[in-house]
Structure 1
Amino acid sequence: MASILDLLNTQTGEQLVDKASAKTSEDKSKVTSVLGMALPLILGAMKRNANDPKGAENLDKALQSDKHNGEILNKLGDKNPEELSDEGSKILNHVLGAKQSGVSKTIAGALNIDEASVNNILEMAAPVIMGLLGQQKRKDNVDASGLSSLLGSVLGSNASHDQSLIESLLDADGDGNVIDDVAGMVFGNKKGKKGGSLLGGMLGGK
């Protein structure tokens, strides 16, 4: 997988969009835009946590669970949306903690979508991300010390370019000042940037 956003072009990604759209009553295109912003942010937060040895150890322990062995990627269509949300809520509490509200608020403001819907979409996406990471961890035999590198790989080749924006959003105090920058990830930077933005692939950029 070139980056986490490639997930949106897979059957698993389509099923996630369908389920989140049905649960939130939001248009599929808006759900896709939310996921396009949220997936790199959740991974970016995980990568930040994994840079700390204790954080890496906790994430490694979670990924060793059979719950996150990657099976969800093949069986997402059979999963109950409420079950996904319940599990995702626990995951996001560990990954984002108090920052979740600010992240949801910022994405909601950038995309003009209800904040509660954003929260639901993030919660449903979190178990899929953990399944993806758990599967890759097993495939590459990665231990706690290698998780930061694994997360960087799944973030994609543009991770270093966009990491500063991810950091700024995760450090935001909720005053909304980063909304324009985050909106730029979705609507801007589509031309003239060789590497493309985080959402370049999804929006037809290169």
Structure 2
Amino acid sequence: MADLVSVLQQTGALSSIAQQLGVDEKTAASGAGALLPAILGGFKKQAGGGGGGLEGLAGVLGGLGGGGLLDAVLAPGATPADQGNDVLGQIFGSKDVSRTVAGQAANSTGLDSGLLKKMLPLLAMAVAGYMAQQGGKSGANAGGGGLGGMLGQVLGGLTGGGKAASQGGLGGLASMLDLDGDGNPLDDIIGMAGKLGGR
């Protein structure tokens, strides 16, 4: 997840999140590194499950606020976490998953789970907004297919999935995370957060 953490640093999102939570950027980066696998896993589930593939995910991102989500995180003042909670609700489907992800990240980093619970919606907004902005730049004149394809490239590039183009229509998303394929995204997402403790 180092690539995505550095992208969030470059956009200024990580600094903005750290400021809002009253922590230094190093602490925010540590928390982000622990939370991002689950967030990206949620986007993968959205694209790969009954979510209509990458074009469906592109539509979801647009409906949630698109690139404006990242702008909201970067704007001065408090970020409206409700929008981030909407993103989490869409990709996780349950507040229980969000709580579990925050708890697992707290165990692996030693950070306070309350802090991580506050960070989770802000991170989800930043990632969703970044993907929507990158997708919009590439696919603005190409319709939904262009945006969907770009989302696959963005997600694949963020996670180092260079050989993703041939992975069955999911683009970069297919090689993003190696989920166990048992049809239960909840334990996959919890497992992803848990695996961080063994690094």
1:9: which partner in 2? 9
Alpha-carbon offset, residue 173 of structure 1? 8.3
Flag the 1:104–1:134 CA change in 2: closer, same or farther, 3 A: same
The answer to which structure, 1 or 2, has the higher relative contact order (CA under 8 A, 6+ apart) is: 1
Where in structure 2 are the equivalents of 1:1-206 lying within 5 Å? Answer: 3-10=3-10, 11-20=12-21, 22=22, 26=23, 28-52=25-49, 54-56=51-53, 57-65=55-63, 67-69=65-67, 72-73=70-71, 76-81=74-79, 83=80, 85-98=81-94, 99-141=97-139, 142-144=146-148, 147-157=151-161, 163-164=177-178, 171-172=186-187, 179=194, 181-184=195-198, 188=199
Flag the 1:143–1:52 CA change in 2: closer, same or farther, 3 A: farther
After superposition, the C-alpha distances for 1:35-72 in whole angstroms (9 at most, x for unaligned) are 11222321222022202363435422233359322573
Checking the alignment, whether the CA contact within 8 Å between 2:9 and 2:15 is kept in structure 1 is yes
Q: Secondary structure at the match of 1:164?
A: coil
Q: How many residue pairs end up in the alignment?
A: 177
TM-score, length-scaled by structure 2: 0.69
Q: Which amino acid aligns with 2:43?
A: M
Percent of aligned positions that are identical: 22
TM-score, length-scaled by structure 1: 0.67
User: Could you say what the CA RMSD is over the residues aligned between the two structures, in angstroms?
Assistant: 3.7
Distance in 1 (CA, whole Å) between partners of 2:38 and 2:99 is 13
Distance in 2 (CA, whole Å) between partners of 1:166 and 1:4 is 23
2:169: which partner in 1? none
Flag the 1:166–1:125 CA change in 2: closer, same or farther, 3 A: farther
Alpha-carbon offset, residue 116 of structure 1? 2.1
Alpha-carbon offset, residue 109 of structure 1? 1.2
Flag the 1:152–1:47 CA change in 2: closer, same or farther, 3 A: farther
Q: Which amino acid aligns with 1:97?
A: G
Alpha-carbon offset, residue 147 of structure 1? 3.7
Checking the alignment, whether the CA contact within 8 Å between 1:87 and 1:127 is kept in structure 2 is yes
Unaligned ranges ≥5, structure 2: 140-145, 163-171
When structure 1 is superposed on structure 2, of 90-99 and 53-62 the one drifting more is 53-62
